[in-house]
Amino acid sequence: MFIKPADWDKELQAVRTTDMDYYTTNGLIHSITSKLLKIELELHLKDNDFTLNNVYNKYNNRPERESYGVCEYYAKYIKNLEDLIGKDLKLSTWKKYMYNNQHLKEFVQSKYGKDVSLKKLNITFIEEFEYWLKVSKNQKQITINKSLQRFRKPIRIAASQGLIKIDPFSSHKVKTVKNEVVFLNTEELKLFEETPLSQSRLEKVRKLFVFCCYSGLAYAEMTALNLSHIQKGFDGKDWICIVREKTSNEVSVPVLPKAEQLMKSLEFYENNGFPKISNQRFNSYLKEIAFILDIEKRVTHHTARKTFASTVLLYNNVPMEVVQKLLGHSSITITEQSYGKILKKQVSEQMSKFY
C-alpha cells in the first residue's frame, strides 16, 4: 500500500483523513495488524524460540518445518561440501566428514532411536557423543577431538543462521592430548643405516625409510616424488621442492648427501621416482625391520619425519624456525608443540658442559 508521506500520522500509525482512501487503507492496516498479533501469540504459545521469518511464512501461509534434525543438518552440510572437492577441499578430507556422519547417525539411533531436533542440541548431547566415540568406537582422544571439530563446523553455521539459539560448543572444553614424539636416536638411526637386510622387500623399505629420515618427507610426498621435484637451488645444489598434500604448503628441502646416495641406490633417477608400496605394507615391513634390529619403539613411516626433525636437525643445532620451514608446518607453534621438549633436552645437554 502506498500513500503520500504528508498523509501519514506517525503518532496514530494511521492514514490521515486528507487521503481519499483513508478509511479503506486504515481498515486494511488494522486487519493486517490483528492477523500478525494473532500469529505472534500462536507462535509464543507453541514455542518461545521463533524468528521474524517464522511470522512472515505463517502470514503468507507458507509451509514451514519446525526444525532440522541434527543428523539431517549435518548430512546437508556434507552434501554442500561435496561440491568443493578438488577446489577448496580434498577428497580424503571429505571422506573423513562422511565417516563422522556415519558415527553420528549410529550414536543418535542407539541413544535416541530417531533424529534429534537441532534446536534441542546442547552440551549434554556433545558430551554423550564424545563418550560414545570413546567406548563404542574405541577412538583415542586425539581422534575424538578431530571428530568433534568436524561436527562443530556446521553447528557454528547453524548458530549464525539463527537455527539454534546458542552454540552448544561454546561451553565445551576440548580435552588436551599429550603427544609423545617417537623418533630414532642417533644409535638407532645408525642401525637402520648400516644394517643391510637379505630380503629384498625389507631392504627396499629400509632404504626408503632412511631416505625419509634425511629428507623429512611424509608418505604421500615420498610416493609422489619424481625428477620434476628435484631443482637447483640458489646455492647450486639439488633441492626437493614439493607441495605437502596435508597443508598444501610448498616445502623446499636440500638433498643431503646420504639422501642422494639412497636415491641412486634405489634407482630414483633412472625410474623417475621410488618403488611404489602401500602405506599399510610399508609400516608392516618396518615392524619386521624394527624387530630384526632389536628396536623396541613402534616404528612407522611417520617416525622417519620425526627423526629428521629431532635427530638430524635439532640435535645438530638447527634453529626451530628452520625446522618449521623444512617440515612445511603452517606455523612455528605446531613445530614448538611437537618438538619443544626435544629442544629442552638439547639445551640441557649443552648446558651440562658447564657443570
315 versus 167: the higher-pLDDT residue is: 167
CB-based contacts of 270: which residues, under 8 Å, 6+ apart? none
Question: What is the reported pLDDT for 105?
Answer: 95
Euclidean distance between the first and the last CA atom of the chain, given in angstroms as a whole number: 91
- Tell me what pLDDT residue 295 has: 92
| Angle CA 95–97–102, to nearest 5 | 95
CATH architecture, domain defined by 186-354: Orthogonal Bundle (1.10)
Higher pLDDT, 50 or 17: 17
Q: In whole angstroms, what is the distance from residue 181 CA to residue 344 CA? A: 14
Domain residue extents for the chain: 5-59, 70-171, 186-354
Full-prediction pTM beyond 0.75? Answer: no
Q: Using N-to-C axis directions, what is the helix angle for 22-46 and 52-59, rounded to 10°?
A: 120
Most confident stretch, 18-22, 61-65, 86-90, 310-314? 18-22
Domain 70-171 listed as CATH 3.40.1000: no
Please identify which residue in the block is written with the cell numbers 561454546.
170
- What pLDDT, in 10s, does the model give residues 273-305? 999 999 999 999 999 999 999 999 889 999 998
Pairing of strands 250-254, 238-243: antiparallel
pLDDT at 17 over 80: yes
The residue length of the chain stands at: 355
